[in-house]
Amino acid sequence: METKDISIKPLTHFTEDEMMLRDAAADFAKSEIAPHVHEMDEQAKLKPELVKQFFEMGLMGIEIPEKYQGAGGTFFMSILAIEEIAKVDASTSVFMDVQNTLVNNAFINFGSDALNEKYLPRLALDTVGAYALSEAGSGSDAFSLKCRAEKKGDEYILNGNKLWITNGNEADIFLVFANVNPEAGYKGITGFVVERDFEGFSVGKKEDKLGIRASSTTELIMEDCRVPAENVIGEVGKGYKIAIETLNEGRIGIGAQMIGIAQGAFDAAVAYSKERKQFGKSISSFQGMQFQLAEMATKIEMARLLVYNAARLKEAGQPFLKEAAMCKYYASEVAEYVSSKAVEVFGGYGFVKEYPVEKFFRDSKIGKIYEGTSNMQLQTIAKLILKD
């Protein structure tokens, strides 16, 4: 029987470009981000100079084509960079994750030539983007939007609020979903490119969160917000398609963030277990501790392979919906498990902010919630395995 070559690269084999970006992201995280992690977490704010450095490193436009001033890289390269940054700080990781896997990909896949020429160079070089789908009554039921858009001449007038918007404080470009025809249900949903200084648009309060505190999560307010008709992304009434496809990709990015959190917590736990002495020897010499560390390492590797597999499938143009749901679901489980165990390895020190593992634990919790809760991932997986 003839087998079909789907051209998927080996999961753990990296090209030279992939290794270069991975290593550059790791070095950047250790040298430039790490010294500010505690301060940013305490102040619940990204350092502006770090935002600038992310652009200078090319980390905000990894997949944007070179003709639009981007790095011209691949989806898998984005995933590797997200993972490396998350090993040090999840807040800055999700900052670049949303830009690359949601905002930039929406433009690349659905934007008109005119929109891409106008906005992609900005997103690659100096402008933060945000993705605005969620509302107070629209979470897992993503398409029950109350935000409305009405066509008036050569503009659309948007009214409504958005909640839980990552990068809300830093962004100047917002991809906003609103319904132009509520009677048509989800088939009225349309994507709009909204700039921060558009009339009738404002950013509301920033949420005070358990984890990823330096990442801004805000409300957006639209009161007769005027958006040029040419700023519709994709087709009118086809915004649901953009939302579905970008979130499917975004879930792989969240999976990468979660394995980064897990690896960061694990590395800290291993190092501490070698240093901490009890009964005259390091706690890493006790079999009970060794077994815990072995289990943590195994779970991380399983999660990483799920994430890499989903990313390679997506990159090869193969179906990846089930694998994206699986990797996000499992990686978020592993991040919470490993970071919790890391707190226990540190004992009392794991419970105080002087040591890094309590932050990894706090940061891990969001993985089961945003870009589709764990229950929604399980529903997607079940639906696909039972389809036939």
pLDDT in tens, 192-214: 999 999 999 999 999 999 999 99
User: Is a pLDDT exceeding 90 seen at residue 258?
Assistant: yes
What tens digit of pLDDT does each residue of 79-136 get? Answer: 999 999 999 999 999 999 999 999 999 999 999 999 999 999 999 999 999 999 999 9
In angstroms, rounded to a whole number, what is the distance separating the alpha carbons of residues 103 and 249? 11
In the chain, the N- to C-terminal Cα span, in Å, equals 22
Are 169 and 136 part of one and the same domain? yes
Q: Which residues fall within 8 angstroms of residue 321, CB to CB, at 6 or more apart?
A: 248, 380, 384
What tens digit of pLDDT does each residue of 140-174 get? Answer: 887 889 999 999 999 999 999 999 999 999 999 99
Residue 10, domain member (yes or no): no
Contact 291, 52 (CB under 8 A): no
Are 268 and 377 part of one and the same domain? yes
**Domain tally, the chain:** 3
Are 120 and 139 part of one and the same domain? no
pTM for the whole structure: 0.95
What tens digit of pLDDT does each residue of 13-24 get? Answer: 899 999 999 999
Q: Is 135 helix (H, G, I), strand (E, B) or coil?
A: strand
Are 84 and 216 part of one and the same domain? no
Cα 283 to its chain centre, rounded Å, is 35
Strand ranges inside 229-365, DSSP E: 232-233, 277-278, 281-282
Best CA proximity match to 364, nearest among 156, 211, 182: 211
Best CA proximity match to 192, nearest among 176, 168, 180: 176
pLDDT for the residue 2? 43
Domain end point (choices 93, 128, 163): 128
CATH number (domain holding residue 34)? 1.10.540.10
Are 230 and 253 part of one and the same domain? no
Catalytic residue among 170, 219, 323, 371: 371
CATH number (domain holding residue 254)? 1.20.140.10
Structure tokens at 106: 């929406």
By residue range, what is the domain housing residue 143?
131-237
Domain end point (choices 128, 146, 173): 128
Residue 9, domain member (yes or no): no
User: Is a pLDDT exceeding 80 seen at residue 36?
Assistant: yes
Domain end point (choices 203, 237, 271): 237
* Known active-site residue 301: no
Contact 249, 324 (CB under 8 A): yes
pLDDT tier, 251 (very low <50, low <70, confident <90, very high otherwise): very high
User: Is a pLDDT exceeding 50 seen at residue 6?
Assistant: no
Residue 41, domain member (yes or no): yes
Alpha-carbon torsion, ordered 355, 284, 274, 304, to 10 deg:
-70
User: Is a pLDDT exceeding 50 seen at residue 288?
Assistant: yes
Are 379 and 251 part of one and the same domain? yes
